[in-house]
């Protein structure tokens, strides 16, 4: 399983044992293109870290190959043992309602969608092409973050702009983090056995989104045409008055590309705090701008949850997942406090313990609160198996 970021490469090697998946070697290459590149990985319950200059993703792939096969006591003896490679691809557009076996047509469709997710799809495609070269003959499966939301209700996914424009340029709400939200739903069903619930899933991390799910189907999600929409994030502004863009264009010498760069990479927690996009550091610095950034982040999450409770007609379960959702009890507590009026009671002791894949609300709470550990790697691996069986 491969999950590429602009300067990172996550990998996870799974073994199929009695039709179940078991991770045998996983890791991440960080700061690719930087002189301080590192590779961290786990194998045989041991953690390894190596500092090495990785000029690009292609070099990272070659080093991963060395870890998996060339090292002494490596996880596999030769690459013929690799059954398939799965890739997280951020944007599937109107093309992909489910995972796809990669061929030339799929590659060209992913390429065509780069303008809708320029930061992500270009890198995702690079990973597919690198794997095609480094692992010739191995089947590849693309798993799309947007597929979970493919069948959103028309009243939700359509934007109120002239229909001719939206139809010609495929402008609609696509939604993202679908792999994470669908995994959270799966784990919720595994834990409760209940498929007929009103759920709000909060994927909170450097990129964040909120999703409303009714009876196992998403009915709305905060991200839209691109991953920029929705709540405020680490470096992204989230949704706001669209006139901000036209106003800045008229008042400054910036063109739309420069403004796009600001909204995607220099806004959010980083832009407001003037310090960092990492919420842990904002808690540490504890100055006015850092406090304001945290307050704005929480407030926008609360607003989305409130609107989705109305859209769902109630709430059975609130799920926290993603890096912040799983590991920041202060954020969870501040969010949950605002929903005590609907009978939500957070168990403060369980919340502080960061209990994964379990309930952290009190027994008499009218809304169950869960922390679900995100595992996009397992979700993608399951998608590979189901795709290749069909």
Rounded to whole angstroms, the Cα distance separating 101 from 107 reads 10
Residue of 372, 362, 311 whose CA lies nearest to 340: 362
DSSP letter for each residue of 230-273: SS--SS---S--THHHHHHHHHSS--HHHHHHHHHHS-HHHHHH
Q: Does 145 qualify as catalytic in the annotation?
A: yes
Rounded to whole angstroms, the Cα distance separating 369 from 168 reads 42
Whether residue 160 contacts residue 91, with contact meaning beta carbons closer than 8 Å, is answered with: no
Alpha helices in 113-253 (DSSP H): 121-134, 154-157, 163-169, 178-192, 243-251
Q: Which 3-state string (H, E, C) describes 294-328?
A: HHHHHHHHHHHHHHHHHHHCCCCEEEEEHHHHHHC
| Segment 21-29 long-range contacts (CB within 8 Å, at least 24 positions apart) | 21/378, 21/381, 21/382, 21/385, 23/377, 23/378, 24/75, 25/67, 25/68, 25/75, 26/377, 27/64, 27/67, 29/54, 29/60, 29/63, 29/64
Residue of 182, 183, 188 whose CA lies nearest to 370: 188
- At residue 339, the 3 state secondary structure works out as coil
Rounded to whole angstroms, the Cα distance separating 88 from 11 reads 11
Cβ neighbours of 47 (radius 10 Å)? 9
Residue of 303, 318, 320, 309 whose CA lies nearest to 355: 320
Rounded to whole angstroms, the Cα distance separating 155 from 149 reads 13
Which of 130, 145, 220, 316 does the annotation list as catalytic? 145
Catalytic sites, residue numbers? 145
């Amino acid at each position: 399983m491969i999950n590429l970021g602009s300067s990172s490469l996550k990998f996870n090697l799974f073994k199929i044992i009695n039709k179940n998946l078991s991770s045998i070697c996983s890791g991440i290459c960080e700061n690719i293109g930087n002189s301080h590149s590192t590779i961290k990985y786990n194998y045989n319950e041991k953690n390894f870290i190596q500092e090495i200059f990785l000029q690009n993703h292609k070099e990272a792939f070659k080093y991963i190959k060395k870890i998996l096969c060339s090292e002494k006591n490596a996880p596999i003896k030769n690459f013929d043992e690799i059954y398939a490679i799965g890739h997280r691809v951020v944007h599937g557009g109107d093309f992909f309602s489910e995972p796809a076996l990669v061929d030339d047509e799929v590659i060209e469709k992913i390429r065509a969608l780069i303008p809708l997710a320029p930061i992500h799809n270009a890198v995702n495609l690079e990973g597919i092409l690198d794997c095609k070269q480094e692992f010739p003959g191995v089947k590849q499966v693309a798993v799309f973050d947007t597929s979970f939301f493919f069948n959103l209700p028309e009243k939700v996914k359509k934007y109120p702009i002239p229909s001719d424009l939206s139809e010609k340029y495929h402008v609609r709400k696509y939604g993202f983090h679908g792999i994470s939200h669908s995994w959270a739903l799966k784990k919720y069903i595994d834990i409760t056995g209940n498929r007929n619930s009103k759920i709000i899933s909060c994927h909170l991390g450097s990129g964040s989104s909120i999703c409303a799910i009714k009876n196992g189907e998403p009915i709305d999600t905060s991200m839209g045409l691109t991953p920029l929409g929705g709540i405020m994030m680490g470096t992204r502004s989230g949704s706001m008055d669209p006139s901000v863009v036209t106003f800045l264009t008229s008042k400054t010498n910036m063109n739309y590309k420069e403004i796009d760069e600001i909204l995607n990479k220099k806004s959010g927690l980083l832009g407001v705090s003037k310090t960092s996009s990492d919420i842990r550091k904002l808690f540490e610095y504890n100055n006015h701008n850092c406090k304001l950034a945290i307050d704005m982040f929480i407030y926008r999450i609360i607003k989305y949850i409130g609107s989705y409770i109305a859209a769902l007609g109630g709430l059975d379960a609130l799920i926290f997942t993603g890096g912040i959702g799983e590991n920041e009890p202060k954020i969870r507590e501040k969010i949950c406090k605002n929903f005590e009026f609907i009978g939500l009671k957070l168990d403060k002791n369980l919340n502080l313990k960061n209990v994964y894949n379990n309930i952290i609300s009190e027994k008499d709470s009218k809304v169950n609160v869960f922390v679900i550990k995100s595992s996009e790697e397992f979700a993608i691996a399951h998608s590979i198996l189901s795709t290749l069986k069909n």
